[in-house]
Amino acid sequence: MPNTFVIGVDYGTDSVRSVIVDTADGTEIAAAVFEYPRWRDGLYCDPAASRFRQHPLDYIEGLETTVKSCLRQAGASVAAGVKAISVDTTGSSPVAVDRHGVPLALLPEFEQNPNAMFVLWKDHTSLKEAAEINAHATRYDINYLQYVGGIYSSEWYWAKLLHVLREDSAIRAACYSWVEHCDWVPFLLTGGQSADTMRRGVCSAGHKALWSAAYGGMPPNSFFTDLDPLLDGYRDRAFEQTYAADQAAGRLSAEWAARLGLDESVVVGIGAFDAHMGAVGGQIEPYHLSKVMGTSTCDMLVAPVTEVQDLLVRGICGQVPGSVIPGMMGMEAGQSAFGDAYAWFRKTITGYTGQLLRQSAQIDSVLAAALEKEMNDRFIVDISEKAAALSLTAQDELALDWLNGRRTPDADQELKAAITGLSLGTDAPRIFRAIAEATCFGARAIVDRFRDEGVPVKGLIGLGGVARKSPYIMQMMADVMQMPLRIHRSEQTCAAGAAMFAATAAGIYPNVEAAMDKMGQGFDMIYEPRPAESAYYAKRYQRYHHLGKYISSHQTKTN
């Protein structure tokens, strides 16, 4: 029997990466990465206002470029053996579409309008709307927030839709439906022509859009119109039925088969969020927290539905049957800033220095650019080494990790970070250590919430770029958690997970568990907690909590 191959496509915050994988053993045959050019140049975004938008052309160009690059690398024989393609994306990252399912930013009249573009997960312009949803939900006998941790976030579907509708009358007039990125890409690849026929995944629907089989889908239209009449009809124009990611959305359209150089028989799987597919790519196990560590973290935990039963975990990002592994309860938590916290600090240090280099009369622009790149490339590695060499004392600087608000436990995107204990002896490595420590403490708070609510956490799995590239932070994580932390071998667990779902959707494997077993690459590093450091961090963790309570009680909120 000839070898069969699948393609996994992973849409991250800064880039899209595609891989071709051999379904027999998960071997990566080819890989390619495409940085979003408009996003890289900062177009359509306003960080000061927490507005982060991405143009659909970045996604389309990235999809075509990376898949074609992979096929060129792999050769014609591999291309002929490709049986399926599946995608994962960030989320909640929805967009306004017309009746045909076309994002409004692809129409000439809206091509430069940020409100017509995908509202990226980290966009927090809808703080007011999220607060209104939380207050509004208390008026109903049915708790429509019970399966999303009890708190609706400004990072999610309905808050973002209401904000855009209120802010932009032109978009309001043209918008027919509101669609998640992970649902739109399969619709694009299969040649969808009507937003009404778009297959929506249970992953995005259950964790972000208030969909639950327990109450027959989403809340009734009246729930939304009573909140704001502008939402009238959006519930009914969205979806009733949802699909797990092991199912097919359809097959490649003639147009996209020709554009990519694939056969029209190629199956296109239902889409899902990156962390959910990443957890599968990282071979998630029941009650083991799979931490996808990138710009933010998404922490996934699965458990048999029969064991979880009616247990509800407060303050997480949802629990949805089948959202990670069909047949199991999928639970999601996470931190709104993780790698972003380190990137912020790097930019704070090197960004202004780079500007001075570019303005220098002593060196030319080419050398200035080279020096700036070298600084950025070396910064995290170098400062991690210096931070690791510092002694640990009770007087060390202490920080909160809320640079982009708090996602879990108990979402509050208005919270701000803080650094305390500063003195004239404080330098960059000390501040970096405090930030790294804070991100680990934020991760510990998530584990504690699961345990406090009756869900055991039996182990930790580290996935993503930070997990593989930052041994200093990973060792600190193990010390803070007081648990071993296994690091998955694959550097592309999200794309690998998408490939596993593609193989299942195509019928190559009967279920996702079988695909994980055959295609998983295993683990190649483990960080064991160190007793002395764990004792030190246990005391610091209590101080982190005290600082968090003080800061959260004294910050001015917009509502």
Gap between the Cα atoms of 307 and 299, Å rounded: 20
Are 255 and 133 in a shared domain?
A: yes
CATH number of the domain that residue 240 is part of: 3.30.420.40
d(CA 153, CA 158): 9
Q: Are residues 470 and 506 in the same domain?
A: no
Report how far residue 172's alpha carbon sits from residue 181's, in angstroms, rounded to the nearest whole number: 19
Q: What is the mean pLDDT of residues 267-280?
A: 97
Phi, psi of 483 (to 5 degrees): -145, 150
Q: How confident is the model at residue 559 (pLDDT cuts 50, 70, 90)?
A: low
The DSSP letter of residue 248 is: E
Nearest residue to 91 (alpha-carbon basis) of 178, 7, 166, 163: 178
Nearest-CA neighbor of 158 among 210, 97, 219? 210
Is 346 among the domain residues?
Answer: yes
Q: How far apart are CA 546 and CA 151, in angstroms?
A: 22
The pLDDT of residue 556: 74
In the structure, what pLDDT confidence band is assigned to residue 310 with cuts at 50, 70 and 90? Answer: confident
Number of other CB atoms surrounding residue 364 within 10 Å: 10
Same domain flag for 515 and 533: no
* Number of Cα atoms under 13 Å in the Cβ half of residue 300: 33
Residue 287's region, left for phi above 0, alpha for psi from -120 to 50, else beta, is left
Cis peptide leading into residue 323 (ω within 30°): no
Q: Is 292 helix (H, G, I), strand (E, B) or coil?
A: strand
Q: Check if the beta carbon of residue 35 is closer than 8 Å to that of residue 54.
A: no
- 86 DSSP β-pair partners: 8
* pLDDT, tens digit, 9 for 90 and up, residues 276-306: 999 999 999 999 999 999 889 999 999 999 9
Helix-strand-coil split of the chain, %, nearest 5: 45, 20, 35
Residue 319 in domain: no
C-alpha to C-alpha distances, 262 to 67, 72, 475, 507, nearest whole angstrom = 10, 12, 44, 18
Both 417 and 546 in one domain: the answer is yes
**Token reading at 283:** 């071979």
On the question of pLDDT at 122 being above 80, the answer is yes
| 207 within 8 A of 148, measured Cβ to Cβ | yes
Claim to verify: residue 91 and residue 113 sit in the same structural domain: yes
**Segment 10-34, tens digit of pLDDT:** 999 999 999 999 999 999 999 999 9
Instruction: Specify whether 84 is located in the same domain as 211.
Output: yes
Mean pLDDT of the chain: 96
Query: Within 13 Å, how many C-alpha atoms sit on residue 387's CB side?
Result: 24
163 and 275, same domain (yes or no): yes
Same domain, 370 and 498: no
Residue 287 domain-assigned (yes or no) = no
- Total structural domains within the chain: 2
- Asked whether residue 422 falls in the same domain as residue 377, the answer is yes
Average pLDDT on 200-220 reads: 95
CA pair distance 512, 540, nearest whole angstrom: 40
Q: What angle do CA 517, 201, 155 make, to 5 degrees?
A: 105
pLDDT tens digits along 35-85? 999 999 999 999 999 999 999 999 999 999 999 999 999 999 999 999 999
Q: For 83-117, how does the pLDDT look when each residue is reduced to its tens digit (9 = 90+)? A: 999 999 999 999 999 999 999 999 999 999 999 99
| pLDDT reading at 466 higher than 90 | no
pTM: 0.92
List C-alpha distances in Å: 540 to 225, 231, 402, 430, 544. Answer: 47, 46, 17, 15, 6
In a domain, 99, yes or no: yes
Question: Does residue 118 lie within any of the structural domains?
Answer: yes
Verify that 28 and 109 share a domain, yes or no: yes
Residues 536 and 389 in one domain: yes
Q: Could you tell me if residue 128 is inside a domain?
A: yes
pLDDT at 144: 97
**Whole-angstrom Cα distance, residue 280 to residue 278?**
5
Mean pLDDT of 181-193: 98
| pLDDT confidence band for 558 (50 / 70 / 90) | low
Tens of pLDDT, residue by residue over 348-384, are: 999 999 999 999 999 999 999 999 999 999 999 999 9
Statement to judge: residues 450 and 499 lie in one domain? no
**Is residue 291, in this structure, part of any structural domain at all?**
no
Is 524 inside any structural domain? no
Average pLDDT rounded to a whole number, residues 200-208: 97
pLDDT at 2 over 80: no
Q: Which domain holds residue 376?
A: 339-489+529-554
Interval 230-259 mean pLDDT: 96
